[in-house]
Amino acid sequence: MPEHTRDELRLYIETHALSYAVAQVDHEEIDRINILKASFKAMHLALDQLKKRPGLLLIDGNRFVPYKRTPHRCIVGGDAQYASIAAASILAKTYRDAYMKDLHIQFPYYKWNTNKGYGTAEHRMAIAQHGLSPYHRKTFQCASPQLSLQIEGG
């Protein structure tokens, strides 16, 4: 889905949803507990902010850490099956994209406004040239682990 479509849908969701909340876990916490646990933690933080308590949580994926006494159901590919999961996915992506664009202003050489922090070749080259920013996850493989050999005379 194109970025401008997600941005339009975000406005629609924020206007029409019965309740919504977005939360984030910073890069240091992600490094400390790992990305999967950090995702669950962010979901729990968002659930804590909801004005209406849900009766059932629909989770996109195959696992989840239970939240208080709220039943949940994990659904692989759930964003293609349930509007509520798709809406949550759109909110998460658009908020993260906006965060990465803000970071781009401070660190333009990483091109976070276009790659959103994904390890593109351009992003990896910027890391090689400028080093890691204070916002990079230290546990994420930012450089290729493979070494290249040049064999002479062979």
Q: Is 152 domain-assigned?
A: no
Q: Is 33 domain-assigned?
A: yes
123: CATH: 3.30.420.10
What pLDDT score does 148 carry? 46
Q: Is 80 domain-assigned?
A: yes
How far is Cα 43 from Cα 58, in angstroms, rounded to an integer? 11
What pLDDT score does 117 carry? 84
Q: Is 138 domain-assigned?
A: no
Q: Spell out the per-residue pLDDT of the chain, length 154, in tens.
A: 999 999 999 999 999 999 999 999 999 999 999 999 999 999 999 999 999 999 999 999 999 999 999 999 999 999 999 999 999 999 999 999 999 999 999 999 999 999 888 888 998 999 999 999 999 988 876 555 444 445 666 5
Q: Is 26 domain-assigned?
A: yes
What pLDDT score does 30 carry? 95
CA angle 6, 115, 117 (to 5 degrees): 100
Could you tell me if 31 and 138 are in contact, meaning their C-beta atoms sit under 8 angstroms apart? Answer: yes
Q: Is 150 domain-assigned?
A: no
Q: Is 145 domain-assigned?
A: no
The structure's pTM equals 0.85
> Residue 76: which domain range?
3-130
Instruction: Please state the domain count of the chain.
Output: 1
Q: Is 148 domain-assigned?
A: no
